[in-house]
Amino acid sequence: MKKFVLAFTAMLFASLTSAQTFDHSHAALTTLLKKHVVIIDGGKSSKVKYAELKKDQPQLKTYLDSLSGVKESDFNTWTKPQQMAFLINAYNGFTLELILQNYPVKSIKDIGGVFDDRWKRKFFKLFGQDSYLNKIEHDTLRKPGVYNEVRVHYAVNCASIGCPALREEAYVADRLDKQLEEQATRFLSDRSRNRYVNGKLEVSMIFNWFKEDWASGYKGFDGKTSAIASREDYFARYAKLLADSPADQQVIADKKAAISHPEYDWNLNGTN
């Protein structure tokens, strides 16, 4: 009996230690991003120095191993901001790793093929199971009733020019709301991907691919944001970012703007 108690105590201590020692500041990822992500156009977009990052691939791998080492039972005890930051950073970190494993490459879509979807490729472990990028994004972050946060689309990065910018720092729980809102502002202000021209609101394909997320009634992970009823409702809130003239802004604010979607640029978001 005494041996059992000692063994149980040791296991409990190890579990608590594991949960407490995970670095929720994600400092290792921030170090790599600050070094290899180049902010352009006033922060509205970014590019990655993949050739240089390739030299630091061992450091990236060490960070990713720390994510893979987290137990699901520990993850489930975290706050929602901690969970979201972890998952977003995991998606972005493993996407960088996928590019580096195949670098040089012109587009993430050049990786794999019909029977080897790069977003469904099980090339890493999470919570003790073989995992893949789509599982993080669609099966977890976007799962209805879990986080209910449309701004996650501005945070996860698909290593493509058409995607919202890869942030130059890791996401962290205590600043997550601020970081997500800044990402939204950056992306919606980017006239190369979102703009009001010729009487139409031309916005990124992500607003078409994930249309249901903007018609879901989501209030965000903190439950404080006003519910989103539609894309038009959402764009109305950001009318001043999407158009330059007051008249055009009013059309968007009145939810009368016709919506279209320019072709998505899948070219790699890398520097020359």
In angstroms, the CA 209 to CA 57 distance is 32
Compute the distance between CA of residue 136 and CA of residue 92 in angstroms, rounded to an integer.
10
Compute CA distances 4 → 16, 73, 191, whole Å: 18, 22, 65
CA distance 235 to 251: 11
51 within 8 A of 99, measured Cβ to Cβ: no
How far apart CA 242 and CA 232 sit, in angstroms, is 12
Model pTM score: 0.91
> Which pLDDT value is given to residue 229?
86
For the chain, 272 residues long, give each residue's pLDDT as a single digit of tens.
555 444 444 444 444 444 458 999 999 999 999 999 999 998 899 999 999 999 999 999 999 999 999 999 999 999 999 999 999 999 999 999 999 999 999 999 999 988 899 999 999 999 999 999 999 999 999 999 999 999 999 999 999 999 999 999 999 999 999 999 999 999 999 999 999 999 999 999 999 999 999 988 888 887 777 778 899 999 999 999 999 999 999 999 999 999 999 999 999 999 97
Q: How far apart are CA 245 and CA 196, in angstroms?
A: 10
Spatial CA neighbour of 228 closest among 148, 156, 152: 148
Collect all residues with Cβ–Cβ distance below 8 Å to 110 and sequence separation of at least 6. 102
b/e map of 256-267 (b: 16 or more CB within 10 Å)?
Answer: ebeeeeeebbbe
Pull the structure tokens for residue 58: 């061992």
Nearest to 47 by CA among 168, 185, 155: 168
Give the up-direction half-sphere exposure of residue 93: CA atoms within 13 A in the CB hemisphere: 32
Res 9: pLDDT: 44
Q: What is the reported pLDDT for 43?
A: 86
The DSSP element (H or E) to which 11 belongs, if any, is helix 2-21
